[in-house]
Amino acid sequence: MSGNEGTGTATGHFSGVPVECPQETFPAVASKDRDAELRRMSERELLATMLPKVCEATGCDDWFPVKRTMERRDCRILFLASKSGLRKSIALKMFRGGAVSRNLAMNLHRRSAKLHAESTAECTVPEPVACFHEENAWAMHYVNAPIAGSLLMRGCFSPSTRRKVIRQAGTWLRWFHGSFGETRMGFEAAHYLESLEKSGEKLGLAHHRGHDRFLGECVSEAKRIAADLNGRMMRHSTAHGDFTPFNLFVDRESAVGFDFRANQRLPIHHDMSRFLIYLDVYRLTPAPEGELSRCGCRMSDFEGFMEAYGGDRSAVEDGTWLRLHFLELTRRLVSVSLPKPGIGNRLARLPESAALRRCARAMLKGMD
The pLDDT tens digits of the residues spanning 292-347 come to 999 999 999 999 999 999 866 666 767 899 999 999 999 999 988 887 777 877 78
Report pLDDT digits (tens) over 114-151.
999 999 999 999 999 999 998 899 999 999 999 999 99
Give the range among 21-25, 215-219, 294-298 with minimum mean pLDDT.
Answer: 21-25
CATH of domain 148-367: 3.90.1200.10
Per-residue model confidence (pLDDT) at position 29: 38
Q: Confidence class of residue 10 from pLDDT cuts 50, 70 and 90?
A: very low
Question: What is the average pLDDT score of the chain?
Answer: 84
Element (H, E) at 166: helix 159-180
Higher pLDDT pick, 6 / 79:
79
Fold for domain 23-141? Phosphorylase Kinase; domain 1 (3.30.200)
Q: Where in the chain is the domain with CATH 3.30.200.20?
A: 23-141
Query: C-alpha dihedral over 56, 59, 61, 64, to 10 degrees?
Result: -90
Q: What is the DSSP string of 267-326?
A: EHHHHHHHHHHHTTTT-SSPPPHHHHHHHSS-HHHHHHHHHHHT--THHHHTTHHHHHHH
Q: Where in the chain is the domain with CATH 3.90.1200.10?
A: 148-367
φ/ψ of 212, rounded to 5, equals: -140, 80
CA distance 53 to 11: 10
Distances (CA, A) of 85 to 24, 51, 61, 340: 37, 17, 12, 41
Counts for the chain of helices (H) and strands (E), in that order? 15, 12
CA distance 314 to 294: 13
Is the alpha carbon torsion for 332, 334, 338, 344 positive or negative? positive
Per-residue model confidence (pLDDT) at position 242: 92
pTM of the model: 0.85
